[in-house]
Amino acid sequence: MAAALNATTVAGILKRYFANKVVQNSIAAKKGAIWKNMPSKTDGGGDFCSFTQVIKDVFTVSQDFTVAQGLAQNSTVSPGLKFNLPWQEINAPIRVSAKAKALTRTNVTAFLNAVAFASASAMRMTHHMLSVRALASGWGELAATGITYTPGTNNFTVSNGAINHFVEGMPLVAAVDLHTNALHSATAATVTGVDYGTNVVTTSVASLSGTLGWANGDFVFVNGDRQNVGGGAAVRVCAVGLRSWLPEVRPVVDTGISTLEGTDRSGNSRAFGNFVDGTNKDDIDACEELVGACVIIGNATDLTLYVSHKRWISMSQSLGSDRRFTSSANGEGGFLKLSVNAMEINVSIVVDRNCEDDVGYSLQKESFANVGAGETPHVNMEGDGQWVRVSDDNSSELRIYAVHNFVMYDPAACGVVKFGALT
């Protein structure tokens, strides 16, 4: 006998039940270590983000009182630098259609709730870009080194560990340099794929060198993060990051770095932070030298060293090659933690997933900070709702937003090491 209501006849009233839960995981699920550890203030406001770096003392010391008094009367030493940084924005709106919202309202009918996933995804992407920008120069570059590109192709190679910065869906534009010349084209190429193993980024444009004019060695930017003007007239539209606060090229010849948003820093090397050229040195030795400079020259007391994950692995393997085994039931390789000892302090070496392979940053606690007009980032509320109904479409939009700046309070206590190429 057959049942009147069987698996076939009841199909029209059955729900689908998913036993397994989807694990939400993306390349930007976590903040970068430097961005995560930066103190964040929410009381920003006014026409500029203004602050002062005190990097000098006024010298008025002499055994001879007349000489000392003359110094007190006539000293021209300026104890600090005042910065007036233009406030910078970051926007991350995301939309969910009414139909998608209705079909995914419970975890019985969908793997993911569309509204919850959309808001979490937009926030993750915002934190990802803030993590990248904290390490950049402020010109909006996604990599500090030019790309490797073969004319006629739709893909390019990113070096130096910057491949972690790229994600699918990014609209990219390119220029021959960071800020002097105009973009090759205002038309963007959308990222359609990122191979994090081979460092290759694929785009939607068949020939980047065709109508877009891209060339080998170009710098790439998210569309909107870099002005499309030439003749040296470009201004920053992203917050100033560590590539400008602590430049790894010495002497500093780029006027976009030596004069930072109108403030000339060229009069005192302490304004650029400490620097160690470690291109021909052992990585750990170079880090020890940098820590020593931060302590002795900059009076640092609480430092953390940040490097890329490949640089950290290289350091670990270098140390691991000097093994002194003892009898053990279990064999182990590698290290859980790395640190460097110098000048009576122990400094942890921490991985920042967005740090590029050629540099390491030694940062005094709370010296590098974020100042925002409100939380950075936050949901831009309109009325009492987070989700705004779109007037010309049957959907709702969530707007992640921030007005902020990265500020460097004490560059003399911080520093940068330039590493040699990884082998």
Residue 147 lies in a domain: yes
Q: Backbone dihedral region of 118: left (phi > 0), alpha (psi from -120 to 50 degrees) or beta?
A: alpha
Backbone φ and ψ for 338, nearest 5 degrees, come out as: -125, 150
pLDDT in tens, 93-140: 988 888 888 888 877 677 777 888 888 888 899 999 999 999 999 999
Residue 212 lies in a domain: yes
**Range of the structural domain that residue 191 is part of:** 139-231
The pLDDT value given to residue 113: 78
The pLDDT value given to residue 104: 80
Residue 185 lies in a domain: yes
The pLDDT value given to residue 269: 87
The pLDDT value given to residue 6: 58
The pLDDT value given to residue 200: 98
pTM for the predicted model, two decimal places: 0.90
Residue 27 lies in a domain: no
Residue 150 lies in a domain: yes
The pLDDT value given to residue 20: 55
Residue 24 lies in a domain: no
Provide the number of structural domains found in the chain.
1
Residue 258 lies in a domain: no
Listed as ranges, residues in the chain with pLDDT below 70 are: 1-29, 108, 322-332, 382-384
Backbone φ and ψ for 12, nearest 5 degrees, come out as: -70, -15
Residue 341 lies in a domain: no
The pLDDT value given to residue 74: 86
- Nearest CA to 307 out of 346, 244, 363, 251 is that of 363
